[in-house]
Structure 1
Amino acid sequence: MNSILTPKNKIYDYSEQLNALQVGTFSDPFSFLGLHKVDESNYEVRVYLPDAKSVALASKPAKFLFKKYLNSDLFLLQVTEQELPMVNKLKVTYANHTRIQQDVYQFSSSISEEALYLFNEGTLERAYQHLGAHFIEHEGAKGVRFAVWAPNAKSVSVIGEFNCWQRSEHFMRKHLASGVWEIFIPELEAQQTYKYSVVDSYGNVSDRSDPFAFKMQQAPGTASVLQPLVSRKKPTSKQLKSRSRRNKIDAPICIYEVQLGSWKRRADEENRFLTYRELADDLVQYVKELGFTHLQLMPISEYPFDGSWGYQPVGLFSPTSRFGSYEDFVYFVEKCEDANLGLLIDWVPGHFPSDPHGLHKFDGTHLFEHADMRQGFHPDWNTYIYNYDRPEVKSFLLANAMYWLNEFQLDGLRVDAVASMLYLDYSRNDGEWIANQYGGRENLGAIACLQDVNRRCYGQDNNIMMVAEESTAWPGVTQSVEHQGLGFGFKWNMGWMNDSLSYISRDPIHRRYHHHEMTFSMAYAYSENYILPLSHDEVVHGKGALLSKMPGDDWQQFATLRAYYGFMYAHPGKKLLFMGSELAPRSEWDHNEGLDWQLLDSPAHLGIQRTVKQLNRIYQGEGALYECDNSPAGFQWIDGDNAEQSIFSFARYGKSKEDLLIVISHFTAQVFHQYKIGVPQTGVYEVILNTDDKALYGSGVTAVAGKQQLIESAAISSHGFENSIVLTIPPLTTLYLKRITG
């Protein structure tokens, strides 16, 4: 038996504890290290400091010199009760330096047991304030509290540049009831890097990034970074009112979707990314000039692989450092608010990648993901699926949604790949999935998780936007949770997008046979609160650019795209365009390059940009185009059956029936003169949009003679209406006619 004669002539055997310290598997270090009473009048201080040459009490180093245990890295010192006040700081001498430090094992736990209970319950909305790394003051010392959930680990320690990445210096305390490991380390500094060294039940060691880290190293680095939680400044009452107006169901919402790394690059500086601060100036101003109401960022949670565009995140709580610091991102958010530009970000709760520093088998077990590959693995993306049935995973995802909305005061979240979460058989063949408890294919845990996130987020602030990218006909996506819906505020209309792009990609001579592809969407237009998306997904992976989808010669391609945008802006539903849609590039999007801004030197491409700008201006100025998006009262077909001429005509109404706009979209290269169309109301109509206008690079065919572009209805019946107007229909054009007098 190994033993030692201590300064007070007491003999103790620490061989078992020493071995656990040396191999890094000490599961309960606070029971041994630090200050402990050894008998009625004596205490012993035990510290384990690899590579230390000597240890003493800093107050009287000559008198209180620790003794090595068996020439190991375990140092021992016995003191009396009267000498306890001197046990506050240690003087530690290494080969090349000496430092004064506090013993981390003298500190009690600083984490809330109530918070841990709620975390285990799945309801801890602000788990990010308790888990992770937080700068706090604890028992008179300033430092960082580390807390990580790893219930099945044998031991966990904090490693970092502050302890030379040694996993035997800062073993953490385990809270047995919650499975959370925690330690307070004094005198650490912001921007120091760290990880958790996790030893599983088989003795395997893995070094993991902090799931709750507010900052991470940019790839190829994988460490977490000590980052104080810096909330953005609170919006003013005026800004809060503006946010409330711009996010409502009856508001004009037009969204510009951006991938920050490829909107613009600094070609003169090795093609580098723009920083958050540069984007705060360039991008925000540009989006405002185009007339968009909202900016939507593709995922900005830290991600290792550029080619994933952020959709395989590892650091859900870390704004990517590709574009600058945490504080720089806060600055960007504030600049959006100052410009009255709504800001949404993509949120990815559907899966996570297999990177070894990430969440997969975090504590040696399938902790965040399902153990069964039929439930826990995505065959499409080679990623892992969260175990939505596990309460702690629900707390993790709920807290992440709350984090972006609370700390950055964003307008909302666009939730990626919702369909992949809802269906157990998503992208799986028979035999490759497991039915739920009722024998169905619905993922009940994911449904409950989404409902809880939406209910709590809207319950905290009903002026936000929670948007679902849901590609199926799942019922009630935007219905309230109380009415058995998923509780989202908006849903992407993928059906409209697929059908309309299919139609518009056809040769005009064939469009007459596919007329229904442009009209079918009105059969379900009011079943959800829809956003019409022309997103990044439509211009990658060999699909080509939007312009390249258009058939015909060069002029016809541009004309068709302008007319298509005009149709989109008049169709019920909010609008979303991916960056570059206003430039009409000929090649599909490449995330490794910035947009081709030189296209604007061409009148044809400039005409597309002017069309988008004009559409945004008209859209926001005409209540008929947005106020009743979700009501049949806002839309009326005039002629939805003119397949022969490929003409669609309809009326849009505002909340007042007097607020009327007539829309005519024509998708052949012919010109139709003396075209009669019925109108619901008598009066004078003004042409406020003609996508064939020469200023937009059109052919210049006018719908109505004269500079005023006015036409008065006549009491001649047509299309089931008692009154009509007669005008010229230009080629490949969308027209908007506004009723200006009765």
Structure 2
Amino acid sequence: MYALPDQAAIDALFNGSHADPFSILGLHEHDGSLWLHALLPDAGEVSVIDAKNERTLATLDRVDARGFFSGKIPRRKNAFPYRLSVRWGDGTFDIEDPYRFGEVLGDVDAWLLAEGTHQRPFQRLGAHPAVMEGVAGVAFAVWAPNARRVSIVGDFNLWDGRRYPMRLRRECGVWEIFLPGVQQGALYKYEIFTAEGHIELKADPYGFSAELRPGTASKVAALPEVVPASDARRTANAFNAPVSIYEVHLGSWRRIPEQGNRWLSYRELADTLIPYVKDLGFTHLELLPVNEHPFDGSWGYQPLGMYAPTSRFGTPADFRYFIETAHANGIGVLLDWVPGHFPTDSHGLARFDGTHLFEHADPREGFHQDWSTLIYNYGRNEVRNYLTGNALYWIERYGIDGLRVDAVASMLYRDYSRKEGEWIPNQFGGRENLEAIQFLRSMNETVGTARPEAITLAEESTAFPAVSRPPAMGGLGFHYKWNMGWMHDTLEYMQQDPVHRKYHHHKMTFGMVYAFNENFVLPLSHDEVVHGKGSLLARMPGDAWQQFANLRAYYAFMWAHPGKKLLFMGGEFAQGREWNHEDSLDWHLLDPAVGGGWHGGVQMLVRDLNAVYKAQPALHQIDFDPSGFQWIAHDDAENSVFSFIRKGEQPSCEVIVIANFTPVPRHAYTVGVPLAGRWREILNTDAACYGGGNAGNDTLETQPHGSHGFAQSLTLAVPPLATIYLQRVAE
């Protein structure tokens, strides 16, 4: 008598609705005998082979014409390793039976995943090449607690969801299976049978590699090895270090027109972009998101493959080579990271198991009106774990030096960009998203504890307090915050005709009112050269000479101002047109025969600014304390001149900065100085090599005439639309 499951159970296996295939398939003991059941659609004959001695032990009966086989294993009472010999059509194949293998997740992993406290969930969830019971294959695991059935489908099983239904670990809502013989590079998805009876095909939320768009499948890839922590990288990220960031969109930095306007690969970028950044003296690269994303035009800010470097530019190994090359050249790499929202594409996280699993069900909490995207449910343990694990993954497994967290303001406030009645208050009736706040604090604490050499930077555009202060002090735990207010104010000032700037003088000084409330980065980012804003150069007033002079003076003012620096690609040579992600930067502008050589002059200035910035401790050591800055004159609105002192940790290393934002040269201009002696120019944006008029100063001697509260003063020439740096000459 066969120990068969009933027909209803067999039918459920074939129609893909059985929730517990391991309870039927594989070896099972019945009345002291061992039985084997196998679901092999369209197979004609199946035999059981002892894996140890290669003997055929039994031929199974085909008890359902669609391909369900069952049989008693003679003289066996305990489970043993076996293979199946299967005849399909005219061919016979030896295969491993996935249903003879045990559980993928250990009990502790299942417990931590259920709690949402697994520090590295990516080590267990996703697709992991593994060896079980001496057999090579891939262990798959996916969180889908409300699904009726989940199967692995891929190019290894004809994308047939009947073939490999998974085991549900009810204690944590994770479905798992070990598939023998699947190799790295295999394409796969999860076929999910929802509670409503619908079939959904989903890419792996923890997939480490992905198919190139328009394909949407995940690709089996090994988890990258851990990158050892680096004291050198920690020093380069420190608050007292020079941090000058070059922001890059990899797909449009440089293209190859002769080859269909194609992108450069990660390895080509390593060989071209890295030397370029090093030559210009930037200390860090910041990459617009490289997480896999379906739409080129999103620039990566609507990611679906949070654990996969985009395949547009190569493989995960290629991306890691890019990072290693940057580090070998002393350049840190920051990654734009988007935990605030995700797109609604059907193969992604939206209604992942047929329910609102990763997102809120109520659109007043779960839908971003600005971007038509979905908002993560930060109140769910597993969602927080997914995102926090992802932050650590990029730092630990690729050696990323830091994460610039996008759209933090949209996470902090429930009423972000919403009208009254379009949002739900928190439990106390307020507008703050308490769950998101707790997530950000927890994420920053996790990263800071596990990889203290790494940093996180918040793109946060409101006055939310203590963004860059530790959670223990009531802060969010970021190391740095983008200073959006400084950027908006100073650009608004620079866009004014110089004759009107005296009426907007406060725009350039107001940033110092709050400069030390946070650890700021001064960003001139991609957001300032898109959506009709034009390029930075195009926003400067006046004729071409004045536009370039304005931009040079502005850059030098920025590099001297307290705060770390960020400049988007193209700004370093004053690209004239607005950035277009579908085209290369306008590298032809650097030809001396084009534009009078002024573009090359701006590029030379940026190189020299970075060199002076790194060489002068006064310009970077004390960015976040009032002791590192002192105004000389902040109130000379009539002349539109600003003067101040930057100070380092050691006395007598001050740098004096004087900026003139009118096209009128200021002859015999007097400024007070802290120390008597000789002072010399160490940078002048009006220098001829930058395209300026070459007005300036030789070595200057102080006079014992008090000015601006100092006992000593200098009388000097301040060139038109120019910024100069002065340093005392050592005796």
The TM-score, its normalising length taken from structure 1, stands at 0.96
1:439 matched to 2:429? The reply is yes
Rounded Cα–Cα distance in structure 1 between residues aligned with 2:546 and 2:327:
39
Preserved contact between residue 232 and residue 330 of structure 1 (Cα < 8 Å): no
- 1:10-42 per-residue CA deviation (whole Å, 9 max, x = no partner) reads 4745211111012101101100111111212x2
Greater shift in the superposed pair: 93-102 or 644-653: 93-102
The answer to whether the 8 Å contact 2:57/2:74 transfers is no
Which deviations, in whole Å up to 9, do the C-alpha atoms of 1:676-716 show, x marking residues without a partner? 111122121110111000000001112x2xxxx21010001
Residue identity opposite 2:225 in structure 1? S
Aligned in 2, Cα 1:681/1:73: closer, same or farther, shift over 3 Å? same
1:244 positional shift: 2.0
1:55 to 46, 58, 82: 46
Distance 1:13 1:508 in 2: 86
Equivalent AA in structure 2 for residue 466 of structure 1: T
CA shift for structure 1 position 599? 0.6
Identify the range of structure 1 (660-669 vs 14-23) with the bigger mean alpha-carbon deviation. 14-23
1:694 lines up with 2:684 in the alignment = no
State the shift of 1:58 in Å: 3.7
Q: Indicate which of 724, 737, 742 corresponds to 2:713.
A: 724
Aligned 1:113-192 pairs, distance under 5 A: 113-192=107-186
- The residue number in structure 2 matching 1:672 is 666
User: Given residue 418 of structure 1, which amino acid in structure 2 is its aligned partner?
Assistant: V
Matches within 5 A, 1:544-623: 544-601=534-591, 602=594, 603-623=597-617
Residue 102 (structure 2) pairs with residue 108 (structure 1):
yes
Of 506, 517, 528, the residue aligned with 1:516 is: 506
In 1, distance between residues paired with 2:516 and 2:173?
Answer: 47
What is the CA distance between 1:269 and its match in structure 2? 1.0
Counterpart pick for 1:661 among 645, 655, 659: 655
C-alpha change, 1:512 and 1:341, in structure 2 (3 Å) is same
Task: Tell me which residue corresponds to 1:714.
Answer: 703
**CA distance in 2 between partners of 1:577 and 1:32 (Å):** 61
What is the distance in 2 between the residues matched to 1:612 and 1:63? 76
Range with bigger deviation, 355-364 or 81-90: 81-90
Give the match for residue 31 of structure 1. Answer: 23
Q: Could you say what secondary structure the match of 2:396 adopts?
A: helix
Query: How far is the alpha carbon of 1:583 from its aligned partner?
Result: 1.6
Distance 2:546 2:114 in 1: 60
Residue 116 of structure 1, CA deviation: 2.0
Aligned-partner residue type, residue 306 of structure 1: D
* Equivalent residue runs for 1:344-355 within 5 Å: 344-355=334-345
Give distance in 2, aligned partners of 1:481 and 1:165: 47
Distance in 2 of aligned mates of 1:130 and 1:232: 15
What amino acid is the match of 1:254?
A: S
Residue 365 (structure 2) pairs with residue 365 (structure 1) = no
Question: For residues 613-647 of structure 1, what are the alpha-carbon distances to aligned partners after superposition, in whole Å with 9 as ceiling and x for unaligned?
Answer: 00000000001111111111111111101111110
Could you report, residue by residue, the CA deviation over 1:502-560 in whole angstroms, capped at 9, with x for unpaired residues?
00011111111000000000000000000000000000010100000000000000000
Q: For 1:440-589, what aligned pairs fall within 5 Å after superposition?
A: 440-589=430-579
* Among 199, 203, 206, the residue aligned to 1:209: 203
Amino acid at match of 2:256: R
Counterpart selection for 1:318 from 284, 304, 308: 308
Q: CA offset at residue 82 of structure 1?
A: 3.1
Distance in 1 between residues matched to 2:22 and 2:381, nearest whole Å: 28
Query: What are the equivalent positions in structure 2 for 1:82-101 lying under 5 Å apart?
Result: 82=76, 88-101=82-95
CA offset at residue 232 of structure 1? 6.0
**Which of 393, 409, 414 matches 1:419?**
409
State the secondary structure of the residue aligned to 1:405.
helix
Contact 2:245 2:284 in 1 (8 A): yes
1:621-636 matches, cutoff 5 A: 621-636=615-630
CA contact (8 A) 1:344 1:413 kept: yes
Helix, strand or coil: the match of 1:741?
coil
Q: CA deviation at 1:98?
A: 2.4
Contact 2:395 2:451 in 1 (8 A): no
CA drift of 1:316 comes to 0.2
Per the TM alignment, residue 93 of structure 1 is displaced from its structure 2 partner at its CA by 1.3
Q: Which residue of 2 aligns with 1:408?
A: 398
Equivalent-residue separation in structure 2 for 1:136 and 1:534 (angstroms): 46
Q: Which residue of 1 aligns with 2:36?
A: 45
Root mean square deviation of aligned Cα: 1.4
Residues 645/99 of structure 1: CA separation in 2 closer, same or farther (3 Å cut): same
Whether the aligned pair in 2 keeps the contact of 1:572 and 1:625 (CA below 8 Å) is yes
Hey, what's the Cα distance between the residues in 1 that align with 2:4 and 2:520? 72
- After superposition, the C-alpha distances for 1:78-115 in whole angstroms (9 at most, x for unaligned) are 11343868760001111253221111111110212211
- Which amino acid in structure 2 is aligned with residue 430 of structure 1? E
CA distance in 2, matches of 1:287, 1:231: 27
Q: Distance in 2 between matches of 1:124 and 1:447?
A: 20
Determine the structure 2 residue equivalent to 1:243.
233
What TM-score, normalized to structure 2? 0.97
Deviates more, 1:224-233 or 1:458-467: 224-233
Q: Distance in 2 between matches of 1:234 and 1:440?
A: 43
**Aligned counterparts of 2:10 and 2:666: Cα–Cα separation in 1:** 92
Q: Given that residues 2 and 71 in structure 2 are in contact (C-alpha distance below 8 angstroms), is that contact kept between their aligned partners in structure 1?
A: no
Answer yes or no: is the 8 Å Cα contact 1:368–1:386 preserved in 2: yes
The answer for the alignment partner of 2:632 in structure 1 is: 638
Q: For residue 180 of structure 2, what is the amino acid of its counterpart? A: P
Alpha-carbon distance between aligned partners in 2 of 1:262 and 1:62, rounded to the nearest angstrom: 60
Offset at 1:61? 8.3
Q: CA 1:194–1:73 in structure 2 vs 1: closer, same or farther (change >3 Å)?
A: same
In structure 2, what is the equivalent of residue 3 of structure 1? none
Return the alpha-carbon distance in structure 2 between the equivalents of residues 318 and 147 of structure 1: 16
SS in 2 for 1:496: helix
Separation in 2 of the partners of 1:666 and 1:291?
Answer: 26
Distance 1:548 1:439, change over 3 A: same
By how many angstroms is 1:323 displaced? 0.5
Q: Gapped runs of 5+ residues in structure 1? A: 1-8
> In structure 2, what is the equivalent of residue 5 of structure 1?
none
Aligned counterparts of 1:711 and 1:86: Cα–Cα separation in 2: 90
Q: Which amino acid aligns with 2:675?
A: Q
Task: Output the CA distance in 1 between the equivalents of 2:75 and 2:386.
Answer: 44
Any idea what SS the aligned residue of 1:191 has?
A: coil
For the residues of structure 2 that align with 1:363 and 1:645, how far apart are their CA atoms? 65
Alignment partners' CA distance in 2, 1:13 and 1:638: 88
Q: Flag the 1:692–1:80 CA change in 2: closer, same or farther, 3 A.
A: same
Residue 573 and residue 12 in structure 1: after superposition, are their counterparts in 2 closer, same or farther (change >3 A)? closer
Distance 1:631 1:653 in 2: 10
Are positions 1:328 and 2:318 aligned together? yes
Structure 2 Cα separation of the partners of residues 544 and 233 of structure 1: 40
Letter in 1 for 2:459: E
Counterpart Cα distance in 2 of 1:142 and 1:473: 54
1:21 to 1, 13, 34: 13
- How far apart in 1 are the matches of 2:240 and 2:558? 17
Residues 181 and 700 of structure 1, relative CA distance in 2, 3 Å threshold: same
SS of residue paired to 2:633: strand
Unmatched segments (≥5 aa) in structure 2? none
1:210-236 CA-partner distances (Å, limit 9, x unpaired): 00000010110000001011226546x
Separation in 2 of the partners of 1:261 and 1:12?
58
Query: How many pairs does the alignment contain?
Result: 724
Secondary structure of the 2:729 match is strand
